């Protein structure tokens, strides 16, 4: 497992791989790794190619008042976990390597997804995500990139930018990894107190309940959303949104591919989750 910190070093290594006509698979992370991140690497290992895992806490996707300075940074433990899976390269750039002199002279925006749901409550967040992911794509030039489905809106943003900019990267979504009680694994789960951690699985239970109702033929989405929000509030959450959407666009549902998306605060932790639902006429 080679640990590289500079773009020039990484490109030199990858040029050799390309000459051998070997696929390059990218697994981007912000560190503080858990089983959810490791599942992305394991999925990459199912593909015949060279795996590049990145660890970079991207400042441009944190909005005003968020936790960039306090975001968990656990590099030593992250590298220990990765060594057990042994990806080919771990790219660990510092901020100045990605944003020289802290200058951002160009940004990537996906307009239809930039300001809705998480984009509404975190203005500028997806601009930061889209920009750093595009930079990583340009630096690594992967054939395949793997992202978790827990960050569902982010996954759609990345798929949209790849399609819109004609980038030669196949985007693969990886299923959400959950704790035994259903809570989606997240670096921010560490912000939960013991009592909040016991409450947290209610979020997933709520989404699953709505999904079950839809599968059983309930099409009163407005009522399902309202009831879901009420349940979360009564359980101590501060929900930002809970919506039933078209799974491919996050717009009003018009076909049988749906996704229920939600973001809610529990104490100091902002939790996001989603459940896909396929209905059949």
pTM, 2 dp:
0.95
Q: Is residue 52 one of the residues assigned to a domain?
A: yes
Give backbone dihedrals phi and psi of 146, rounded to 5 degrees, phi first: -115, 130
Please tell me whether residues 159 and 202 are part of one structural domain. Answer: no
Both 31 and 168 in one domain: the answer is yes
Last-in-domain residue among 132, 152, 174: 174
CATH number for the domain including 271? Answer: 3.30.1300.10
User: Which residue matches tokens 């750093």?
Assistant: 132
Question: Number of helices (H) and strands (E), helices first, in the chain?
Answer: 11, 9
Buried b (16+ CB within 10 A) or exposed e, 81-113: bbeeeebbbbbbbeeebbbeeeeeeeebebeeb
Which of the listed residues 144, 174, 204 is the one where a domain comes to its end? 174
Q: What is the spatial distance between Cα 257 and Cα 241, in angstroms, rounded to a whole number?
A: 20
Regarding whether 211 and 161 lie in a shared domain, the answer is no
Q: Is 182 within the bounds of a domain?
A: no
267 and 151 within one domain: no
Per cent of the chain over pLDDT 70 is 99
Asked whether residue 180 is assigned to any structural domain, the reply reads no
User: Does residue 153 form part of some domain?
Assistant: yes
Domain boundary, last residue among 174, 201, 221: 174
Categorize the per-residue pLDDT at 2 as very low, low, confident or very high, splitting at 50, 70 and 90: very high
Q: Does residue 59 lie in a domain region?
A: yes
255 part of a folded domain: yes
**Domain-located, residue 76:** yes
The number of domains in the chain is: 2
Residue numbers of the domain that contains 165: 2-174
pLDDT grade for 104, boundaries at 50, 70 and 90: confident
Give residue-wise pLDDT tens across range 42-57: 999 999 999 999 999 9
Residues 194 and 167 in one domain: no
Per DSSP, helices labelled H in 125-201 are 125-140, 152-164, 194-199
In this structure, are 21 and 56 located in the same domain? yes
What is the set of active-site residues? Answer: 37
pLDDT tens across 166-185, in order?
999 999 999 999 999 999 99
């Amino acid at each position: 497992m080679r640990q590289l910190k500079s773009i020039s070093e990484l490109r030199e290594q990858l040029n050799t791989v390309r000459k051998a006509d070997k696929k390059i698979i990218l697994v981007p992370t912000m560190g503080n790794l858990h089983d959810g991140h490791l599942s992305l690497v394991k999925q990459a290992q199912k593909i015949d190619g060279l795996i590049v895992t990145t660890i970079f806490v991207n400042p441009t996707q944190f909005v005003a008042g968020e936790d960039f300075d306090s975001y968990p940074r656990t590099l030593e433990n992250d590298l220990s976990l990765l060594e057990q899976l042994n990806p080919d390269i771990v790219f660990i750039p510092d901020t100045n390597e990605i944003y020289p002199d802290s200058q951002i002279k160009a940004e990537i925006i996906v307009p239809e997804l930039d300001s809705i749901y998480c984009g509404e409550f975190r203005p500028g967040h997806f601009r930061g995500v889209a920009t750093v992911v595009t930079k990583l794509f340009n630096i690594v030039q992967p054939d395949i990139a793997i992202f978790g489905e827990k960050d569902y809106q982010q996954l759609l943003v990345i798929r949209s930018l790849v399609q819109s900019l004609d980038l030669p990267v196949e985007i693969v979504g990886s299923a959400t990894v959950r704790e035994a009680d259903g809570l989606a694994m997240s670096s921010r789960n560490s912000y939960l107190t013991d009592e909040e951690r016991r409450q947290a699985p209610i979020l997933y239970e709520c989404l699953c309940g709505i999904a079950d109702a839809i599968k059983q033929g309930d099409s009163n989405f407005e009522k399902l959303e309202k009831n879901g929000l009420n349940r979360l509030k009564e359980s101590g959450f501060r929900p930002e949104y809970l919506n039933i959407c078209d799974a491919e666009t996050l717009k009003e549902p018009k076909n049988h591919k749906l996704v229920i998306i939600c973001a809610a605060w529990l104490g100091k932790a902002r939790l996001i989750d989603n459940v896909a639902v396929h209905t059949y006429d």
